[in-house]
Structures are given as C-alpha cells and as structure tokens.
Structure 1
Amino acid sequence: MNSFADKTVIITGAGKGIGRACAELMAQRGAHVVAMARTPSDLETLASGIGARTITVDLADNAAARAAMTEAGTADYLINCAGTNVLESVLDMTEDGYETVMGINLRAALICAQEFARARVKAGGGGAIVNVTSIAGHRGFQDHMVYAASKAGLEGATRVMAKELGPHGIRVNAVAPTVTMTELAAAAWSDPAKKDPMMVRHPMGRFAEVEDVARSIAMLLSDDAPVVTGAVLPIDGGFLAV
C-alpha cells in the first residue's frame, strides 16, 4: 500500500463522491489533506472525521479559485475532482449551461493546476497532479455535449501540462471513470431500462465505486508511477475496450 506520510494533497470537489473518497483514502495513507468544496457542512465532517484543513470556495469564480489555491499553499499533490453537469442536447444547449459546466470542469481545473504548478516550481519542482475526466470524453452520450467537451478538453490540457511541467519534475495524469456509484448516480442508474444497456458494455459486469477511482488516483500520485505522465487511465471496467 502506498504511503503518503508527511505529504500534502489539495483536493477540489472534496465534499462528495470521488473527491470525498480521495480525501478519506489519502488521509488513511498518511497525507495532510487540504479539502476544497462549496458546501460548508461537507467540509465540517471532513475536518472532524479525517482532520482535513478545509477551504470553502466556489471554483466557478476565477478570483476565488486563485485565492483558495493561495490559501492552500504549496502542496505535493493536486487532485482536480470538482465537477458538474447540465444535461442539454445539441439543439437545446444554453449559454448558461455552457458557462456553468466549462467554468467548473475545465477552467477551474486549469486555474488550480496553474497555481499548484507555480508554487511547485518556486519550491524547486516535483509533485504530481491528477485530473478527473470521464469516459464521456471518449464516447458520445445523449445530452452530454458540453460535459463531453469539458472532459475531452481537460484530457488535452493534461498532455500539455505533462509536456511543459515535466522539466520541473511535475507529473500530470488524468483518470477517466465510467459511471461511478455516488449517491446521486446510484439513484439515477437504478432503473433497469437505463442501467442494463450500459452495463452490457462493461466486461467486468459492474460500474465503478468511488473507492475504485480513489485508489487508482493514489497509484498515479505515488512513487510507484515515477515515469507515468501525460497518461489518461480509464477506470471503466473495460467499457472503452469493447
């Protein structure tokens, strides 16, 4: 099991779902967790439960995102997990929906990565970033146009980050999960009419759990992946293989 003793990790979107699972796992493995989220009550339970240092922030606000990263300080790792979605078709896409999804899923992730990297370079380099994307960036899902664009864009940015930050010893990777069983997803995918056609495309016969994604992220951050950078790791039970 990888140890992150005496290391500091910043996690965006840490209040719920994959981000929360990452916060709990990294704390279990010895890391000092700086948790960012919009909902104070979520952060309060992380502070009391795992001793996380917490920052309440709406990352859709560019200035607030930069200020939050400054408050977080220099860290060893960054997990860009904050995300949202507005279900709109190609014909029904709205400007508000576009700005909401792109602002959180892509622009905020780039701002946080930039501020993290600047601090790391100033500290002498090293460290690692993992960006959380989605299989929606690889396959076309109904009503997911802007979401897909945001996640595909983040994967492209991940490769540029890996190229430009590699000389500073900073590794940058992404993970692309399939349907992941957060509380909201479990409710959304409980209908067999929706679940079964999707499940048949998963050779392993199940969707991902938040802990599955968190463990894969921890692996990419760890010293067990010393020359892995610029990669996009599907966490999808084989979905993209078939």
Structure 2
Amino acid sequence: MLFNNNYLYRIFEVNVRAVIQVSQIFARGIISRDASGVIVNISSQASLVALNKHVNYCASKAALDSVTRSMAMELGPKKIRVNACNPTVVMTELGRKAWGDPKTGGPVLSRIPLGRFAEIEDVTNVVLFLLSDKSAMMNGAILPIDGGFTITGV
C-alpha cells in the first residue's frame, strides 16, 4: 500500500514531532541559562531523493530537514546552532539485515560512487564535527553522508 495512514502517523511522530519536542526542551534550558548549544538532527538521504516504496519515510525526513532549517533560523539568534546529517544506509545490525542481501542492497549500492554503505563511525564522526567548535559557523546545514549517492540522480 502506497499510503499507510497508521505508519504515516507513527513515522511522523518519531521522525518529526519527537525531534521538535525534545529540541524545544533543550532550547528552553539553554536559553534560560544564557548559554550556547548545538542540535544535530539525524535525517536521511531519503529526504533529498525519491526512493521507491518509501514515500512516508522520505516525506518524514524531508520534513525533518525543513524543521532543521527553521529551527536554525529561530534559534541561531539565541546562540543555538541546528544542523542535520543525512546518511545513506548505515551498517548497523538492522542495516545489515535489511540491506546486506545483494538483491535488496545491490541496486542502491550500485548508485554510491564510493562503493559502500556507511559505517556507524562515518555518521558519528560527522555528528562530532557538527557538535564541535570546528563547525562554529555552520547553522542550518543539511549534510549528506552518502558516498555520493545523492549526486547520481534518481
């Protein structure tokens, strides 16, 4: 089924609404202490390209990218930077189960110029950079961690 309303609601609850709620709590605390802070949202390459049979997921991650940019605009003057990283498939235990089969993962993997899916460290290294002062001028950035997948087109 293309649109599964129950799934659509649940995925937006987790991927969008929860991020907004947690970010609001974090931002209120930072602002009340007149401190500075950083929010890094974990989005997906699916926000940047269309993926077959993933309409709900793609839409939720595109919404998260929009939330990231809006929060960056609103919270930047409050000394809170907000960015997102957008990984491809990450080889977690679940990622290996879902995408490790060449029949399933092969078509996606063939579109990644670096020839591999992301490892956990590929994502955590970008998150650590975005949390650090080395990215002090980055706000509202949407960073693909996809080995070049999004440059290859659909």
Percent same amino acid at aligned positions?
45
Confirm or deny that 1:115 pairs with 2:14. no
Which whole-Å deviations, capped at 9, do the CAs of 1:9-64 have from their partners, x for residues lacking one? Answer: xxxxxxxxxxxxxxxxxxxxxxxxxxxxxxxxxxxxxxxxxxxxxxxxxxxxxxxx
1:209 to 111, 119, 126: 119
1:174 to 84, 88, 96: 84
Query: 1: distance between equivalents of 2:98 and 2:61?
Result: 20
Which whole-Å deviations, capped at 9, do the CAs of 1:87-134 have from their partners, x for residues lacking one? Answer: xx42xx222111111111110001001111111110103110000000
Rg (Cα) greater in structure: 1
Query: 2: distance between equivalents of 1:214 and 1:203?
Result: 21
**Aligned-pair Cα RMSD in Å:** 1.0
1:191 to 87, 101, 111: 101
Query: 2: distance between equivalents of 1:138 and 1:184?
Result: 22
Number of the residue aligned with 2:9: 99
Which shifted more, 139-148 or 210-219?
139-148
- How far the C-alpha of 1:190 sits from its partner, in A, is 2.1
- How far the C-alpha of 1:192 sits from its partner, in A, is 1.5
Report how many aligned residue pairs link the two structures: 152
Which whole-Å deviations, capped at 9, do the CAs of 1:186-216 have from their partners, x for residues lacking one? Answer: 0222221222221111111110011110110
Number of the residue aligned with 1:151: 61
Pairing of 1:69-84 with structure 2 (within 5 A): none
Number of the residue aligned with 1:228: 138
Query: 1: distance between equivalents of 2:119 and 2:142?
Result: 18
**Which sections of structure 1, spanning at least 5 residues, go unmatched?**
1-88
Query: 2: distance between equivalents of 1:97 and 1:241?
Result: 29
Query: 1: distance between equivalents of 2:126 and 2:29?
Result: 25
**Which sections of structure 2, spanning at least 5 residues, go unmatched?**
none
- How far the C-alpha of 1:167 sits from its partner, in A, is 0.8
**Which consecutive segments of 4 or more residues in structure 1 shift more than 6 A?**
none
Comparing both structures, which one devotes a greater share of its residues to helix?
A: 2
Query: 2: distance between equivalents of 1:142 and 1:241?
Result: 17
- How far the C-alpha of 1:140 sits from its partner, in A, is 1.4
